[in-house]
A = this chain, B = another copy of it.
Amino acid sequence: MQSVLRFGMVGGGEGSLIGDIHARGAMFDRRNVLTAGCFSRDPAKSAITGEKYGIDPDRLYATYREMAEKEAAREDRIHFVVIVTPNNSHYEIAKVFLLHGIHVVCDKPVTIEESEARELETLANERGLLFGVTYTYSGYPMVKQAREIVKQGEIGDIISVMAEYPQEWVLHAAAPSWRMDARQGKSCCVADIGVHVAHTVSYITGLEIETLCADLQSHGTLMELDNNANIMVKYTSGATGMYWCSQVAPGSKNGLKIRLFGTKGSLEWQHERSEELQLSILGKPFQLLSRGRDPMYPAAAAFNRLPGGHPEGLYEAFANIYAAFSGELLKLLRDGKLTGAEPEDYPRISEGADGVRFIDKCLESSEKGAVWVKYDAASAPERTVQPV
């Protein structure tokens, strides 16, 4: 389809993998076009990226504040901004753009403090602005199919959740990265990949955590922050779960795997077999569902792009999130408001804030000796919101 929505990007300068993925994802369907940017603090670097994307040099900005102000003042202003900077800058950047009336898509974890994310949520709601958070895995059609299968009761009431996200990169790391830096964040492993575990489970099942018990560790000599986390959860429904995320698990790449065991059946999705879903119904043979071949519920099938057996992948998962976000934004622009009747399927700022709570609760539990902590906001430290 023809590009009709203009967007800008903060971060994502030369060499940024995540910036490139967002740009490709956002433009995959040709609905959105990258039109402005503040790709780097280094103007030369930002210029290179701008040129790569064919951006008018007038719309390359030295700071995100300048970008927000000048774009807001243009008639052909960007419709939304994509924030792909280090985590500890998300909050301020997002806030500035919201204050200038510009819709936001931000990478996860959306902020460092839950209170920041809740503040952004309030701000977006007050101003009628959209705020998407790129929890990548919820963009995969078979994750959406898993969600529908659960919703339709095919596996009954969930008894048990086994979810994990192992990686191995920390064991390879020759030097510390910003992710490991205690000055730039409070958590490495839970913040980077644990939130994906928590979000994907929540997205598929709707289960709400009641209490959790987390044992976070830091292995190796480079680390200041956690790189391995064992977590047990109890949900409000009475179901329980075990989550494991690790950056020190040799042989793992991006091994997100979600297994759900219910009273009638079980379900498994794993990222590295993203086109498949394993379904076992009590008393029936094990089934392997293939995206594009086997029947899918409409809410999942809507995101199919290729016939079965022609692999889709990560770019398409991002594209799906952007397709839903843009779809909602187009409705809003067209109608002036959203009825909320048929919300598009993309992760929102409230889910972003939930992710930050998950990180906080894991840290809190672990610091207290891996004790069970209640999963409410109450224990979060009061926070004075910084003026922009």
- Of A87-95, A287-295, A328-336, A339-347, the segment with at least 4 beta carbons within 8 Å of chain B is A287-295
- State how many angstroms separate the Cβ of A84 from the closest Cβ of chain B: 15
CA distance A51 to B30 in the complex (A): 12
Inter-chain contacts of A265 with B (CB < 8 A): 250-251
Contact B248 A160 (CB under 8 A): yes
Query: Residue among A27, A30, A253, A306 with the most chain B CB within 10 A?
Result: A253
- Of A98-106, A198-206, A311-319, the segment with at least 4 beta carbons within 8 Å of chain B is A311-319
Contact B250 A281 (CB under 8 A): yes
Given A232-B213, A248-B261, A249-B266, answer yes or no on A283-B316 (Cβ-Cβ < 8 Å).
no
Which one, B54, B215, B283, contacts A240 given CB within 8 A? B215
Given A253-B307, A287-B285, A370-B372, answer yes or no on A2-B217 (Cβ-Cβ < 8 Å).
no
Contact-size category for A:
35 or more
Contact B254 A309 (CB under 8 A): yes
CA distance A309 to B232 in the complex (A): 26
Inter-chain contacts of A230 with B (CB < 8 A): 160, 232, 240-242
Contact A370 B311 (CB under 8 A): no
Quick one: which of A220-270 are within 8 Å of B by CB? 220, 228, 230, 232, 234, 240-242, 244, 246, 248-255, 261-266
Say yes or no for A168: interface residue by CB 8 A criterion.
yes
Query: Residue among A1, A286, A292 with the most chain B CB within 10 A?
Result: A286
Number of copies: 4
Nearest-neighbor residue (CB-CB) of A155 within chain B:
B250
Inter-chain contacts of A254 with B (CB < 8 A): 307-310
Say yes or no for A65: interface residue by CB 8 A criterion.
no
- State how many angstroms separate the Cβ of A60 from the closest Cβ of chain B: 14
Nearest-neighbor residue (CB-CB) of A217 within chain B:
B240
Contact A54 B249 (CB under 8 A): no
Inter-chain contacts of A220 with B (CB < 8 A): 263
CA distance A275 to B164 in the complex (A): 21
Contact A54 B2 (CB under 8 A): yes
Nearest-neighbor residue (CB-CB) of A27 within chain B:
B30
- State how many angstroms separate the Cβ of A184 from the closest Cβ of chain B: 21
- State how many angstroms separate the Cβ of A258 from the closest Cβ of chain B: 14
Inter-chain contacts of A313 with B (CB < 8 A): 306, 310-313, 316
Inter-chain contacts of A307 with B (CB < 8 A): 17, 253-254
Say yes or no for A369: interface residue by CB 8 A criterion.
yes
- State how many angstroms separate the Cβ of A248 from the closest Cβ of chain B: 5
- State how many angstroms separate the Cβ of A236 from the closest Cβ of chain B: 15
Inter-chain contacts of A164 with B (CB < 8 A): 162
Nearest-neighbor residue (CB-CB) of A219 within chain B:
B159
Contact B290 A288 (CB under 8 A): no
Contact A215 B232 (CB under 8 A): yes
CA distance A383 to B205 in the complex (A): 46
Given A250-B266, A313-B311, A369-B372, answer yes or no on A53-B155 (Cβ-Cβ < 8 Å).
no
Further pairs besides A159-B228, A215-B232: 6, Cβ < 8 Å? A30-B53, A230-B240, A232-B370, A254-B310, A315-B315, A371-B371
Binding site for B on A (CB under 8 A): 1-3, 17, 21, 24, 27-28, 30, 51-54, 155, 159-160, 162, 164, 166-168, 171-172, 213, 215, 217, 219-220, 228, 230, 232, 234, 240-242, 244, 246, 248-255, 261-266, 271-272, 274-275, 278-290, 292-294, 306-316, 369-372
Q: Can you list 30 A-B pairs with a CB-CB distance of less than 8 A?
A: A1-B52, A17-B307, A21-B306, A159-B228, A159-B248, A162-B164, A171-B282, A172-B282, A213-B213, A230-B241, A232-B370, A248-B263, A249-B266, A250-B281, A250-B282, A251-B261, A251-B265, A251-B280, A252-B309, A254-B309, A272-B275, A272-B309, A279-B285, A286-B287, A306-B314, A311-B311, A311-B312, A311-B314, A369-B372, A371-B371
